[in-house]
Structure 1
């Protein structure tokens, strides 16, 4: 496998992980919207923590995606 192909595979993996994290984020937001009246302090803190973790993961993956995309452009 050439370096260029390896970078393309990594980009595909990053795209898949980004979509997965976005789906989880929307799922948590939908859960929050449907159940906000029944929230306890623990549930609310868990939701906020999960949202921050998912957003952090998205930021990290987006940076890695951009880095690998720049590497792919350099390979051409």
Structure 2
């Protein structure tokens, strides 16, 4: 399966992109700053049967970006 990292995934365009890719079978690493909303989005996206990892944080933080890449590597 292809893997995508989606930032800003908890709402708006990011969430729409996550839903669309999951519906097409993509595995996803989701990022947003608000953990609770991101958790809800991840649960909804996972209903498509794809693997989803959700990591709350700020993409301006190098360590967080590294964690996103590491999560994508674990998925594929």
Fold match, TM over 0.5?
Answer: no
Give the greater-gyration-radius structure (CA).
Answer: 1
- Pick the structure with more helix per residue: 1
Q: Which of structures 1 and 2 has the larger relative contact order (alpha carbons within 8 angstroms, sep 6+)?
A: 1
**Richer in strand (by share):** 2
